[in-house]
Amino acid sequence: MKVGDHPTAQTHPHGTVLTSAPQDAPVDRATAAARRVIDAMLRTDRGNANLDRVAEELNSIADHLEEHAPEVAERMIDMWSGEGVTRHDPITGPENAIAPPLVLKGLDDGSVQGVVTLTLPYQGPPGCVHGGVSSLILDHVLGVANAWGGKAGMTAQLNVRYHKPTPLFEELTVTGKQISVDGRKIHTVGDIKNAAGEVCVSVEGLFIDASVPRPR
């Protein structure tokens, strides 16, 4: 993530929203509706939901969206233009139906924090969040923590520890904080706590001050 004009703990107040919160825009509403479909597809009765018709309707919507899609290279330029936070990432992106989405705020102790409740699409063990989903969320949260800390980079190493199962259907608090910057090396930590405040998953990340060039 480019820091650029991105808010940092030095420049912005406690509680600043660091992710792109869902707006009352058609693409955000359509994406939120797609999330409902993903979730309901896992819950619906396999036998009685007229799923062949659902498949037809979804394919027809996909056809429509694709007919109005520019070439990927062109769309990528648009997607990455301007400053500010992305709207398309798979964790916080209001335009990405894979994202829960997680909303993160910057706190005045230098940490970033968000609350999220995960449902069946994110399941690993029965009733629990998939361990890989926890690492996906934490990697991203550490990236946002780095931007809030004032120095962002690319993930070089993640060490994820699983302390206890992370429950679905329960408010989880996700936290990240930049600990130190040593030349190009950035050290950042984070965790996911359950509703009782117990740490379910913790992470230590090493990031390198580097970035992939934007398409243009």
Q: Shortest approach of a second copy to residue 139 CB, angstroms? A: 3
Please report whether residue 179 would count as binding a second copy according to CB under 8 A: no
Question: Alpha helices, DSSP H only, in the chain?
Answer: 26-43, 51-67, 72-79, 131-149
According to CB under 8 A, which one of 3, 21, 120, 181 is a site residue for a second copy? 120
# binding residues, a second copy (CB under 8 A): 86
Q: Spell out, one character per residue from 84 to 103, where the chain touches a second copy: x when CB under 8 A holds, - when not.
A: ----xxxx---xxxx-----
Among 82, 126, 183, 197, indicate the residue that binds a second copy (CB under 8 A): 126
- Which of 23, 108, 159, 185 lies at the binding interface for a second copy (CB under 8 A)? 159
Which of 14, 161, 184, 185 lies at the binding interface for a second copy (CB under 8 A)?
Answer: 161
Min CB(110)–a second copy separation in Å: 22
Ramachandran angles phi, psi of 172, nearest 5° = -105, 140
121 contact partners, CB below 8 Å, separation of at least 6: 38, 39, 42
Per-residue interface string for the shown chain with a second copy, residues 28-57, x marking contact by CB under 8 A: -xxxxxx-xxxxxxxxxxx-xxxxx-xxxx
Residue type, 27: V
Of the chain, the end-to-end C-alpha distance in Å amounts to 17
Residue 212 as a binder of a second copy (CB under 8 A): the answer is yes
Measured between alpha carbons, how far is residue 56 from residues 28, 38, 49, 52 in Å?
23, 15, 13, 6
Pick the binder of a second copy from 165, 173, 181, 209 (CB under 8 A).
165
| Burial class of 52 by CB neighbour count within 10 A (0 to 12, 13 to 18, 19+) | exposed
Residue 11 or 81 with smaller CB distance to a second copy: 81
Q: Which is nearer to a second copy, 57 or 108 (CB)?
A: 57
Positions 58 through 77 that interact with a second copy (CB under 8 A): 58-59, 61-62, 64-66, 68-70, 72, 75-76
Report the residue number, 150 or 215, with the smaller CB distance to a second copy.
215
Contacts of residue 12, Cβ cutoff 8 Å, sequence gap at least 6: 106
Q: What angle do CA 29, 44, 90 make, to 5 degrees?
A: 40
Q: CA-CA distance, 169 to 162, in Å (whole number)?
A: 19
Per CB under 8 A, the list member of 139, 145, 152, 172 interacting with a second copy is 139
